[in-house]
């Protein structure tokens, strides 16, 4: 095309080729799935975990499903622990596992070891390349930078000398990943030393500073989770004058003390009074920081990150910071592996679906049906009636399923615990809509309320705060069974103080907001006690984050636990020591 630069032409061709590749894979998703399963089983035929099931070299789906049982983490944990202890024999994969990923551990209070290998890096790059190609088709970016709020966690070594860290850190420490990502999306503003730096607060400050230095070049703003983006711009509200001073004088703030971070950022920080004045005037002119992102980064086209599930409560605040800019939800994955990518970037996060890439793993789906009022027992997961798993192309639109993964990294028929709805198909691959985690639920008897149920109830009750111009900074919940009958406890951290009258009304609204029939009937006959709303000191959720980081976690992986299990003792201690007020519902008073 006349007048198009070589870089631009390469970027567009790359996106077109990626989309064409995706279309070819998804037109024949059933065959691709069979080929993918065959490759996984052939590569790992000697693995001890697989060998005990008597496959005897067979790689077809029927033999695989009849021989190898569905599993959960506890089933494979002994094999992964042997890897961590230094056993180099083929335990779960044909080739030795040289690194382990840690799950977030924000709900149970303890991270899990999960296998990590080069195939996961390859799959991650394919998912990123595919979703970026579709984003670039709707929001074309041919040059410029991205303002990325990414953070790595500390790397630990197991007793057997295996590196164990978060999945995001495993990616960033991989030369293959770093090289691959350069050809997929725009260069970040921050030097690598900031991303891998040991101090989150210093790294966040420097991300903001580097983003401002390159403010005219930024084309999109991103982080792994919406929570990290909100946190970044809340910090911006606090430190903007200091950032302006750094840029004006060309001298990095004394708050940055890590030598590697300080040296790397100082290399790009030069005195620029004109830019400092421009930033200062824009910040002063903002109304309650509305639209700060397009104001300071005027060429930004969108804001990008995971915005579903436990991230949905942050969307209101993120939209406040983003102003007119679209929010695009990132791809659907977990520490175990990726499930699907967002190929419809113009769809708002609340409606986003994820198309499964059929060559990144072998996928099965357990059909789920909600029970019809019978006694379901006092377990800690949502009780569904389950049917036999079906294949990727056998799912039905409008039905709900639990996702089952078989990966190149040594997980076989692994129950992910995610509940999804089949929203439609792209060619012959399904488009999934995330509903909830099966293990995240408020339940005492026959009542079952999911994370999504809790979110809806909290959002409705929070409307009562609007008259006092208050907002919820963050929230979580637990089940209190220290007395009989047990009750739901909802924890709120508020932006400022509220009156007793309003908070009593909020407690009633929360209690009445749960529409689950098991809950409503149990409240009426008092087999569940009145709901309790506990108000927390400001900064409580920052303390929970600090606790998570002290366990070796990364901010890029942190998700506020919406339901805190009794096993997560330390988080419950943090919550309960910071309670300043408590209100019991009177909504079901007889």
CA gap 221, 238 in Å, rounded: 19
* Final residue before a domain boundary, out of 325, 356, 391: 325
Structural domain count, the chain: 3
Q: How confident is the model at residue 13 (pLDDT cuts 50, 70, 90)?
A: very low
Q: What is the pLDDT of residues 299-354, one digit of tens each?
A: 999 999 999 888 888 899 999 999 999 999 999 988 888 899 999 999 999 999 99
Q: What Cα–Cα distance (Å) separates residue 64 from each residue in 32, 226, 576? A: 16, 38, 48
Same domain, 85 and 65: yes
Using DSSP's 3-state secondary structure scheme, residue 554 falls into coil
Higher-pLDDT residue of 225, 1: 225
Q: Which residues contact 467 (CB under 8 A, 6 or more apart)?
A: 502
Q: Residue 182: what pLDDT?
A: 67
Residue 373 pLDDT exceeds 60: no
Q: What is the pLDDT of residues 62-97, one digit of tens each?
A: 999 999 999 999 999 999 999 999 898 999 999 888
Same domain, 108 and 193: no
Please report whether residue 165 resides in a domain: no
Inter-residue contact 221 to 304 (CB < 8 Å)? yes
Same domain, 410 and 522: no
Q: Residue 15: what pLDDT?
A: 82
Please report whether residue 158 resides in a domain: no
Beta-sheet pairing, 99-102 with 163-166: parallel
Q: Residue 449: what pLDDT?
A: 86
CA gap 454, 504 in Å, rounded: 18
* Final residue before a domain boundary, out of 292, 325, 358: 325
CA gap 171, 106 in Å, rounded: 20
Same domain, 357 and 244: no
Same domain, 412 and 294: no
By residue range, what is the domain housing residue 541?
Answer: 441-584
Please report whether residue 399 resides in a domain: yes
Bridge partner residues of 63 (DSSP): none
Q: Residue 185: what pLDDT?
A: 67
Q: Residue 315: what pLDDT?
A: 92
Inter-residue contact 311 to 225 (CB < 8 Å)? yes
Same domain, 58 and 108: yes
Same domain, 380 and 395: yes
Q: What is the pLDDT of residues 484-538, one digit of tens each?
A: 898 999 999 998 888 999 999 999 999 999 988 888 888 888 889 999 999 999 9
Please report whether residue 139 resides in a domain: no
Same domain, 287 and 274: yes
Q: CA angle, corner 40, sides to 37 and 44, nearest 5?
A: 140
Please report whether residue 122 resides in a domain: no
Please report whether residue 152 resides in a domain: no
Q: Is the pTM of this model over 0.75?
A: yes
* Mean pLDDT confidence for 187-201: 89
* Mean pLDDT confidence for 446-467: 87
Same domain, 430 and 376: yes
Percent of the chain with pLDDT over 90: 59
Same domain, 220 and 198: yes
Same domain, 490 and 537: yes
Please report whether residue 155 resides in a domain: no
**Residue with tokens 């303890």, as numbered in its chain:** 110
Q: What is the pLDDT of residues 458-471, one digit of tens each?
A: 999 999 998 777 88
Q: How confident is the model at residue 101 (pLDDT cuts 50, 70, 90)?
A: confident
Q: Residue 583: what pLDDT?
A: 95
* Final residue before a domain boundary, out of 273, 308, 325: 325
Q: What is the pLDDT of residues 47-57, one digit of tens each?
A: 999 999 989 88
Same domain, 473 and 580: yes
Please report whether residue 133 resides in a domain: no
Q: Residue 379: what pLDDT?
A: 43
Inter-residue contact 571 to 517 (CB < 8 Å)? no
């Amino acid at each position: 095309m006349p007048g198009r630069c070589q870089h631009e032409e390469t970027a567009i061709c790359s996106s077109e080729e990626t989309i064409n590749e995706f279309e070819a894979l998804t037109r024949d998703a059933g065959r691709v799935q069979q080929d993918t399963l065959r490759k996984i089983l052939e590569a790992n035929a000697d693995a001890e975990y697989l060998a005990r099931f008597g496959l005897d070299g067979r790689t077809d789906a029927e033999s695989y499903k009849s021989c190898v049982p569905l599993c959960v983490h506890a089933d494979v944990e002994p094999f992964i622990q042997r890897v961590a202890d230094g056993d180099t024999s083929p335990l779960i994969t044909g080739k030795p596992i040289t690194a382990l990923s840690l799950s977030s551990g924000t709900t149970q209070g303890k991270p899990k070891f999960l296998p990590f290998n080069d195939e996961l890096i390859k799959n991650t790059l394919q998912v990123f390349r595919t979703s970026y190609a579709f984003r670039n088709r709707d929001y074309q970016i041919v040059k410029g930078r991205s303002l990325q709020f990414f953070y790595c966690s500390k790397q630990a070594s197991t007793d057997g000398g295996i590196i164990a860290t978060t999945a995001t850190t495993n990616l960033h420490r991989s030369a293959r990943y770093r090289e691959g990502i350069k050809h997929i999306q725009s260069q970040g503003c921050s030097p690598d030393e900031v991303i891998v730096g040991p101090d989150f607060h210093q790294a966040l400050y420097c991300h903001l500073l580097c983003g401002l230095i390159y403010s005219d070049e930024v084309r999109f703003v991103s982080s792994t989770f919406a929570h990290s983006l909100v946190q970044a711009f809340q910090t911006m509200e606090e430190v903007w004058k200091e950032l302006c001073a750094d840029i004006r004088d060309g001298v990095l703030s004394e708050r940055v003390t890590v030598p590697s971070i300080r040296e790397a950022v100082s290399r790009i920080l030069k005195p620029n009074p004109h830019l400092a004045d421009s930033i200062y005037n824009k910040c002063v002119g903002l109304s309650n920081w509305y639209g700060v992102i397009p104001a300071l980064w005027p060429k930004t086209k969108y804001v990008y990150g995971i915005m579903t599930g436990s991230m949905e409560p942050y969307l209101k605040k993120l939209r406040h910071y983003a102003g007119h800019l679209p929010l695009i939800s990132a791809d659907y994955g977990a520490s175990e592996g990726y499930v699907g990518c967002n190929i419809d970037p113009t769809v708002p996060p609340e409606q986003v679906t994820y198309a499964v890439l059929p060559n990144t793993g072998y996928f099965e789906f357990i059909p789920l049906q909600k029970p019809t009022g019978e006694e379901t027992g006092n377990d800690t997961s949502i009780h569904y009636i389950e049917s036999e798993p079906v294949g990727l192309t056998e799912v039905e639109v409008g039905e709900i399923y639990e996702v089952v993964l078989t990966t190149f990294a040594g997980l076989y028929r692994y129950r992910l615990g995610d509940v999804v709805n089949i929203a439609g198909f792209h060619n012959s691959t399904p488009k999934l809509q995330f509903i909830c985690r099966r293990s995240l639920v408020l339940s005492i008897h026959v009542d079952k309320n999911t994370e999504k149920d809790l979110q809806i109830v909290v959002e409705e009750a929070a409307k009562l705060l609007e008259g006092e111009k208050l907002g919820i900074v963050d929230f979580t919940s637990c089940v209190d069974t220290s007395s009989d009958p047990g009750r739901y406890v909802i924890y709120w951290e508020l932006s400022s103080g509220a009156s007793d009258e309003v908070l009593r009304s909020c407690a009633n609204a929360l209690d009445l907001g749960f529409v689950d029939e098991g809950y409503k009937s149990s409240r009426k006959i008092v087999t569940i006690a009145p709901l309790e709303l506990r108000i927390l000191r400001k900064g409580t959720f920052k303390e929970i984050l600090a606790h998570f980081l002290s366990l070796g976690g990364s901010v890029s992986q942190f998700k506020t636990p919406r339901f805190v299990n009794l096993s997560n003792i330390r988080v419950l201690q943090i919550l309960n020591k910071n309670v300043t007020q408590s209100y019991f519902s009177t909504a079901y008073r007889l």
